[in-house]
Amino acid sequence: MIEISRRARDIGGEVERFVRDVIVPFETDGRRDHHGAPTEELVREMRDLANDAGLMTPHILEDGSHLTQVETAHVLIRSGLSPLGPLALNTNAPDEGNMYLLGHVGSDHLKKKFLGRLVSGEERSAFFMTEPAEWGGAGSDPSMMKTTCRKDGNHWVVNGRKVFITGADGAGVGIVMAKAESVEEGGGACMFIVDLPDPAIRIERVPNTIDNSMPGGHASVAIENLRVPADQMLGEAGEGFRYAQVRLSPARLSHCMRWLGAAMRCQEIAIDYVCRREAFGKLLIDHEGVGFMLAQNQIDLKQAELMVFWCASILDSGDLGTTESSMTKVAVSEALMRVADNCVQVLGGTGVTDKTVVEQVFRELRAFRIYDGPTEVHKWSLAKKIKKAQQRKAAP
């Protein structure tokens, strides 16, 4: 049985009331860019309201300490009751994961220079890792990284290309991954934190995507002779992939938390509709074809919630939770996709329009099955671990 602390229940209650009462009305606000994402003006207005309510970045306390992962789950689920909630409260990706990484790996100097700007919600951030497939670069396999870095005096020089960089357009802080050119320089992946915009990081295009909840979209960028002071390397040279694991498991789980909240909201909307709408002489809920879909949704939502809290408890034990977060990401993303699909279906024609937020959540969850590792990659990784465990068991 997972116990939720009083402080998490209190914060979660305030977050839920704020999202439902203050942020949900913004879902019909027309301030959107040509990709359909909220404009910077809209984000700023919502964040000002969150600041006024004392709820900015609610999972990080005033003394700089972080809620436990179980506590964070309780809060972030509620922030996700609207796709705009994480943006307003600064619990959104990639900022939440970047703050977590910087807090765990960054030097005191880097925390002082960058962390406060992110925690306050003053600036957004971006994480530069994925690379173009046509370039042979890193995607689901980060070891294929082609972006390079080399030491030059008291700086590092970075060159390469990146794609699907969420929020790069408009971000004030960036974390860039590159591979050191020589063994003497670490011979592996390195992470750098930089101020944005920087003329050496050029946004080539921001493609239209199935999802549009994140300002700045998912940009393709060219990095040309980016000079980074040596003291802006995160941690040690060559340890970038290890640091990425520090970030990826909690960040992967945070996605599950936020989208669980959104799927719960879809279920609420669908239930309200089918308990009012009549067809063929009775309420829709009384037709088994409809009622059974919503019953299955309740089952999927509860299973997703249990997986989230189980994985959070593993992370709270000090374990990296790589296996557990992969399992959770697969189970939750697939379950929530079924929930959203059922909600669209029972809403009928209304479900495919922007009359409710269900249509958007459906699209966002479809993308979530790919982001932070496609379902198939996680299953492949889990299968490799199953094989290795069996081989160890069979060894004399």
Q: Determine the Cα–Cα distance for residues 241 and 320; give it in Å rounded to an integer.
A: 13
- Residue 227's alpha-carbon distances to 100, 192, 194, 219, in angstroms, are 25, 10, 9, 21
Average pLDDT over residues 153-173: 96
Q: Determine the Cα–Cα distance for residues 163 and 148; give it in Å rounded to an integer.
A: 15
Grade residue 96 by pLDDT with cuts at 50, 70 and 90.
very high
Q: Say if residues 174 and 126 touch (Cβ distance below 8 Å).
A: yes
Q: For residue 1, is pLDDT > 80?
A: no
Q: For residue 93, is pLDDT > 90?
A: yes
Q: For residue 213, is pLDDT > 70?
A: yes
215-258: pLDDT as tens digits: 999 999 999 999 999 999 999 888 888 888 888 889 999 999 99
Strand partners, 283: 278
Helix pair angle (240-274, 69-79), 10° resolution:
50
Residue 183: predicted pLDDT: 56
Q: Determine the Cα–Cα distance for residues 8 and 6; give it in Å rounded to an integer.
A: 5
Query: Where do we find the tokens 């999802």?
Result: 211
27-75: pLDDT as tens digits: 999 999 988 999 999 999 999 999 999 999 999 998 888 999 999 999 9
Hey, which CATH number is domain 125-238, 1.10.287.70, 3.40.718.10, 3.40.50.11260, 2.40.110.10?
Answer: 2.40.110.10
17-30: pLDDT as tens digits: 999 999 999 999 99
Backbone angles phi, psi at 184, to 5 degrees: -60, -25
Residue 396: predicted pLDDT: 78
Give me the CATH code for the 241-394 domain, please: 1.20.140.10
DSSP for 203-218, written as a single string: EEE----S---STT-E
- With vertex at residue 312, the alpha carbon angle to CA 215 and CA 236, rounded to the nearest 5 degrees, is 70
Residue 179: predicted pLDDT: 94
Q: Determine the Cα–Cα distance for residues 97 and 243; give it in Å rounded to an integer.
A: 12
3-state secondary structure of 246: helix
Strand 282-283 relative to strand 125-128: parallel, antiparallel, unpaired?
unpaired
3-state secondary structure of 378: helix
Note the helical H segments in 218-286.
240-274
Average pLDDT over residues 74-99: 97
* Among 32-36, 126-130, 269-273, the least confident range: 32-36
The two structure tokens encoding residue 315: 């992370």
Type of residue at 122? E
Grade residue 339 by pLDDT with cuts at 50, 70 and 90.
very high
Residue 186: predicted pLDDT: 55
Q: Determine the Cα–Cα distance for residues 52 and 47; give it in Å rounded to an integer.
A: 8
Q: For residue 316, is pLDDT > 70?
A: yes
- Residue 326's alpha-carbon distances to 23, 274, 385, 387, in angstroms, are 31, 35, 12, 16
Q: For residue 185, is pLDDT > 80?
A: no
pTM of this prediction?
0.94
349-363: pLDDT as tens digits: 999 999 999 999 999
| CB-CB neighbours of 274 under 10 Å | 23
Residue 143: predicted pLDDT: 83
- Residue 351's alpha-carbon distances to 5, 54, 270, 275, 348, in angstroms, are 37, 35, 9, 15, 5
Q: Say if residues 27 and 84 touch (Cβ distance below 8 Å).
A: yes
3-state secondary structure of 369: coil
Q: For residue 187, is pLDDT > 80?
A: no
Which residues have a Cβ under 8 Å from the Cβ of 326 and sit 6 or more positions away?
252, 373, 378, 381, 382
Indicate the domain borders of the chain. Answer: 6-92, 125-238, 241-394
